[in-house]
Structure 1
């Protein structure tokens, strides 16, 4: 195992910020865009919460994070921050990309694009055979197979791509959790030959509310998503919908309308998904080139180092030339501060509480997303990302026809 350099104070601050309850992808990006570094954002967060009338957040200490780093390294796992060079390539183009991931295995697989293969847990024998065949054909062609390690279609897809080591498993729980139990050996094999990835910290037991986040990883990492057997109301279709929102290729295998497991795929094909019968159909539909990596929204021209660097003594050493940053995405524009001449220091104005405004605006009566955007006065990208977060938390539901509704509170 390669020795990992000790984290810098900036990296520790970023890890602590990402692991603080209440800080999701949008808050993480806005805070760093506002304050410029993890250290400053971490120092400012408790006061901001207090002014907003919230309880002081339970921020992990530096010692706790160092212990977590050491524990992960013992199992061959590690943290992966949004600003790391081996963060999944296509996930950098997702507005609500998670700021922190946990991985074990070959991180290079995360940026190969590839195909997400998802489908029913109670898959038919024919569906499982097809998943095995298509996955093996994709792996033989050098394509990485991404799936969720669930029973049925997921398991078949992983197993067929395991021999060449071209499979990524997105988990709903922590890397130290095994689900389903019968896939314990397969999970370990994927860690050794492929890659395991999750948003969930160590110790997180998989629960129903965690699976939408796993689905987001599958849709975000892969260049295309293939559905093999899915009911009309299933997590598989959530993955397909997310792939569509991320501007990825969506494919589906057709089936008999007499089988409920075929209705989801048939519905996707009616809506424009690529119909797949052979591996050639998949390969022909894949994009020829992957886009360039997007820098993290908050990264500046001279970002703070994420690992401690030994002091350079050779005078010939010159700083690396850093390319100009990409233009800010629409939903990040408000979070950036314009350059200006020095002025008296002042507390930056907090960003508008989009999450709270959405929860106040939404009710048990469906409303069009376009109307939500108009009423919130945020960009479409910001509202869409925030709605996605709320849906993953089980607070709202996105309905057909571009509508959204708030779900009843649990008793």
Structure 2
């Protein structure tokens, strides 16, 4: 992108009060950001009203420094990109939504935006089973060529990105900050892997900090890039359910994994299922719904090498049978199987260490299941 064109784009986007809808109206009226910035006040007034037309008369004070900073960032690496409306590389699914970003920044492989993709989202405070489901589902979907889109948040998002990096579909992280910083900081290494093997994406200018309103706003991009959205563990009032609602409004599929009726992380998924989301128990359920059924799942190695799938837990283990599929207390398990406390505690610890049982808050235990 030529410096004068980038400068005009940033002037439009950084003018206070001039939102995405107003910018799109100006572009439709004048054909380019340069023409919109240079148009007479009276002409702009007829498109966006007097107040916004006058706001464009004076460039924002920080605008020259932002232009310089962005040009330097673009020159720093061939994997740094700025993509605008009308660019041939703009993702067609996102362009078809009601509120596509006017401009976005990206680091990595832009081709990840052009293939079939699915969003995977969920709580920042998942159970161990939720984390395992996110990794396994994302790995399977990536293995058959679907790109996994998520938000780089702690919890389900991070696990989905990690799983997706194991397959050729790879992953796209849509973030709520400028791309010159990583939030949360704990995901610095994960963000670097995504930048190298997938794509980081943001509509926010360089230097933008992690502001609370930005995260629900970016959710429309998550769903807009994707043929469907999978929710894995979510509270009823959560950003994940916002993403699911946006996906439904955009005419995309919504999938949800059910869980225990006693687990608060399951309530959002159950609410979605009641509202018509597709209940899924395996990644193949999603592939079938997306008419991707001609491609079958193959085992995915976390290390990148082929190996046989992990053996399933012994379904006839007496304690696992007593535990069932809902959380249970130590007292309830003792009543069900009649074991002395020391034997019961020892066996629970063995199952916990082997990943077959998870210890929950409140002294409860829950059986884990492989996705």
Note whether the superposition's TM-score is higher than 0.5: yes
The equivalent of 1:218 in structure 2 is 222
Q: State whether structure 2 residue 201 is matched by structure 1 residue 202.
A: no
Change (3 A) 1:263 1:244: same
Look up the SS of the partner of 2:186 in the other structure.
helix
CA distance in structure 2 between the partners assigned to 1:46 and 1:65 by the alignment: 24
Look up the SS of the partner of 1:118 in the other structure.
strand
* Structure 1 runs of 4+ with >4 Å offset: 8-12, 45-51, 60-64
Look up the SS of the partner of 2:255 in the other structure.
strand
What are the equivalent positions in structure 2 for 1:59-138 lying under 5 Å apart?
59=59, 64-75=66-77, 76-138=79-141
Report how far residue 42 of structure 1 moved.
Answer: 1.1
CA distance in structure 1 between the partners assigned to 2:75 and 2:228 by the alignment: 32
Q: State whether structure 2 residue 235 is matched by structure 1 residue 235.
A: no
The equivalent of 2:314 in structure 1 is none
What are the equivalent positions in structure 2 for 1:8-407 lying under 5 Å apart?
9-10=4-5, 12-44=7-39, 48=44, 52-53=50-51, 56-57=55-56, 59=59, 64-75=66-77, 76-164=79-167, 166-286=170-290
CA contact (8 A) 1:229 1:265 kept: yes
Report how far residue 266 of structure 1 moved.
Answer: 0.6
Report how far residue 22 of structure 1 moved.
Answer: 2.4
Look up the SS of the partner of 1:200 in the other structure.
coil
1:194-248 alpha-carbon deviations (Å, 9 max, x no partner): 0000111111111211101221110111111000001000010000000011100
CA distance in structure 2 between the partners assigned to 1:201 and 1:19 by the alignment: 9
- Which is greater in Rg? 2
Q: Gapped runs of 5+ residues in structure 1?
A: 1-5, 289-411
Report how far residue 163 of structure 1 moved.
Answer: 3.1
TM-score by length of 1: 0.65
CA contact (8 A) 1:220 1:246 kept: yes
CA distance in structure 1 between the partners assigned to 2:227 and 2:95 by the alignment: 12
Larger RCO (CA under 8 A, 6+ residues apart): 1
Q: Gapped runs of 5+ residues in structure 2?
A: 293-371
Change (3 A) 1:122 1:51: closer
